[in-house]
């Protein structure tokens, strides 16, 4: 009898789990690994703002990476999970059963909180979304692009579009000033860079409605828009809650210290799908923490297969790298709780650093295929403690 391990989602976290666990169990004939994903292409979500501005990124086929790993890849949409029956239903495929489940279905932009977003705004959830936006931007001779949300995604895409499409007016709207998590000195530099690119920033505003040609603000004002891109807020799949797994107020699976569901210990949660508590609070979804959760889940499952107890997950944030187009950027080094340290980078050094740490994870996954312990070192930063790695 083989131990059936089923991994849902082939994003940064799910892929890290699958590749690392395959390497750790390569000599075992009693383990069956299956990876399920809706698409057969890996999505570099860190770079979708480049696709949206019209740049062409590398094509990353998942089956190509999995070659030689004994991982069975199933392309399809997950429609239901039954943790009591230990089964997952795939659209057009039927049910897949498991002994251990890794839930790595990631998050998407929340298009439900503000009326009109779902009908009239673009998002950056998939390559297709980014390509549709790029096509729309290319069709405009002149016009105004309004970006809702002044977080890191909003800042990066505003800068990218302004640089690649200088003929367009770019307006960035948000409740907070761009780079609010940065040191005052670096925040000033970021604002100056947006000014140089011609991005109009309006902070301290709430969008209450998106229309076909404008957005309405809470103060009664409105901003004309030929294109609206929504980057504010995320939501996770409701599938975990519907399955009866213990979830938090955001629908994320609540885990123990080893990343197992507190209600169903044979279910691991990784990436955006997991509510992982550390000393400083609950992790928020980023690639910086997503890949480490995937690697740790792989190590924990490998230990359980040997009859050992999994070790606790320990993580701390390390940096906040932000691109400002192709030729500028800032990097804020942080304490584990994400508060800023004194050290930072800006300009060309920041560009080099950002491009290095945000490079394609393909080489990292490739190293994991032969050397699973190399999963402790990934291109997206973050501190993963030695005790947890062993």
Q: CB 152: neighbour CB atoms within 10 A?
A: 18
Amino acid 356: pLDDT? 87
**What is the average per-residue pLDDT within 47-55?**
93
In the chain, what's the furthest Cα-to-Cα distance? Answer: 65
Most confident of 313-327, 352-366, 374-388: 313-327
Amino acid 284: pLDDT? 86
How many Å apart are CA 246 and CA 211, to the nearest integer? Answer: 37
Amino acid 375: pLDDT? 54
Q: Do domains 3-107+236-313+361-389 and 110-230 have the same CATH topology?
A: yes
Strands 143-148 and 227-230: parallel
CB of 39 within 8 A of CB of 75?
yes
CB of 68 within 8 A of CB of 369?
yes
CB of 375 within 8 A of CB of 298?
yes
Instruction: Answer yes or no: is pLDDT of 202 > 80.
Output: yes
Q: Is the domain defined by 3-107+236-313+361-389 classed in CATH 3.50.50.60?
A: yes
Amino acid 285: pLDDT? 73
Joined together, the tokens standing for residue 365 give 């996954």
Amino acid 389: pLDDT? 39
Instruction: Answer yes or no: is pLDDT of 346 > 70.
Output: yes
How many Å apart are CA 64 and CA 360, to the nearest integer? Answer: 15
**Mean of all residue pLDDT scores within the chain:** 92
Judged by average pLDDT, the poorest of 145-159, 218-232, 282-296, 322-336 is 282-296
Judged by average pLDDT, the poorest of 128-132, 169-173, 269-273, 366-370 is 366-370
Q: CB 128: neighbour CB atoms within 10 A?
A: 11
**What is the average per-residue pLDDT within 116-133?**
96
Amino acid 288: pLDDT? 85
Cα dist from 189 to 81, 283, 307, 344, whole Å = 47, 27, 53, 11
**Unique residue bearing structure tokens 């670096």:** 186
Q: What residue ranges do the domains of the chain occupy?
A: 3-107+236-313+361-389, 110-230
Amino acid 374: pLDDT? 58
Q: pTM, whole model, 2 decimals?
A: 0.92
Amino acid 365: pLDDT? 81
Report the half-sphere exposure of 149 (CA within 13 A, side-chain side).
23
3-state SS assignment for residue 320: strand
Q: Which H or E run includes 191?
A: helix 184-197
How many Å apart are CA 170 and CA 159, to the nearest integer? Answer: 9
How many Å apart are CA 47 and CA 42, to the nearest integer? Answer: 12
Tell me what percent of the residues of the chain surpass a pLDDT of 70. 95
3-state SS assignment for residue 83: coil
- Closest to 281 measured CA to CA, from 245, 316, 232, 241: 316
Amino acid 372: pLDDT? 74
**What is the average per-residue pLDDT within 366-378?**
65
Helix ranges (H only) for the chain are: 12-24, 48-52, 62-66, 117-120, 127-139, 152-164, 184-197, 239-242, 287-305, 348-357, 362-370, 386-389
Instruction: Answer yes or no: is pLDDT of 379 > 50.
Output: no
Instruction: Answer yes or no: is pLDDT of 242 > 50.
Output: yes
Helix ranges (H only) for 69-125 are: 117-120
Q: Which H or E run includes 133?
A: helix 127-139
Predicted confidence band of residue 312 (pLDDT cuts 50, 70, 90) = very high
Sign, CA dihedral 245-264-252-44, equals negative
Amino acid 354: pLDDT? 92
Instruction: Answer yes or no: is pLDDT of 384 > 80.
Output: no
How many Å apart are CA 230 and CA 110, to the nearest integer? Answer: 9
CB of 326 within 8 A of CB of 53?
no
Q: Which CATH superfamily is domain 110-230 in?
A: FAD/NAD(P)-binding domain (3.50.50.60)
Instruction: Answer yes or no: is pLDDT of 369 > 50.
Output: yes
**Each residue's pLDDT tens digit, 2-13:** 999 999 999 999
């Amino acid at each position: 009898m083989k131990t059936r391990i089923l991994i849902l989602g082939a994003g940064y976290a799910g892929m890290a789990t699958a590749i690392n666990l395959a390497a750790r169990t390569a000599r075992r004939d009693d383990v069956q690994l299956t990876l399920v994903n809706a698409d057969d292409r890996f999505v570099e979500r860190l770079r979708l703002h480049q696709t949206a501005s019209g740049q062409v990124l590398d094509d990353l086929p998942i089956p190509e990476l999995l070659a030689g790993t004994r991982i069975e890849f199933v392309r399809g949409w997950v429609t239901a999970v039954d943790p009591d029956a230990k089964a997952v239903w795939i659209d057009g495929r039927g049910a897949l059963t498991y002994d251990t489940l890794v839930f790595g279905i990631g998050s998407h932009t929340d298009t439900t909180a503000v009326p009109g977003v779902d009908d009239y705004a673009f998002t950056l959830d998939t390559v297709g979304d980014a390509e549709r936006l790029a096509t729309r931007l290319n069709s405009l001779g002149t016009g105004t692009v309004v970006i809702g949300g002044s977080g890191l995604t909003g800042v990066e895409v505003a800068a990218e579009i302004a640089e690649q499409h200088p003929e367009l007016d770019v307006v960035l709207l948000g409740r907070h000033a761009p780079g609010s998590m940065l040191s005052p000195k670096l925040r000033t530099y970021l604002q100056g860079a947006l000014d140089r690119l011609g991005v109009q920033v309006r902070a301290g505003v709430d969008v209450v409605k998106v229309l076909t040609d404008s957005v309405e603000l809470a103060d009664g004002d409105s901003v004309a828009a030929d294109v609206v891109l929504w980057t504010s807020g995320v939501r996770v799949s409701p599938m975990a809650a519907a399955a009866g797994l213990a979830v938090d107020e955001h629908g994320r699976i609540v885990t123990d210290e080893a990343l197992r569901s507190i209600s169903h210990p044979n279910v691991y949660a990784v990436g955006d799908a997991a509510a992982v508590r550390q000393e400083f609070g609950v992790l928020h979804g980023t690639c910086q923490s997503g890949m480490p959760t995937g690697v740790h889940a792989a190590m924990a499952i490998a230990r359980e297969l040997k009859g050992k107890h999994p070790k606790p997950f320990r993580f701390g944030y390390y940096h906040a790298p932000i691109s400002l187009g192709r030729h500028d950027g800032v990097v804020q080094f942080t304490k584990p709780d994400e508060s800023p340290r004194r050290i930072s980078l800006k300009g060309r050094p920041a560009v080099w650093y950002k491009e290095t740490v945000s490079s394609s994870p393909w080489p990292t996954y490739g190293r994991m295929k032969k050397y699973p312990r190399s999963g402790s070192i990934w291109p997206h930063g973050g501190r993963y403690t030695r005790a947890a790695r062993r």
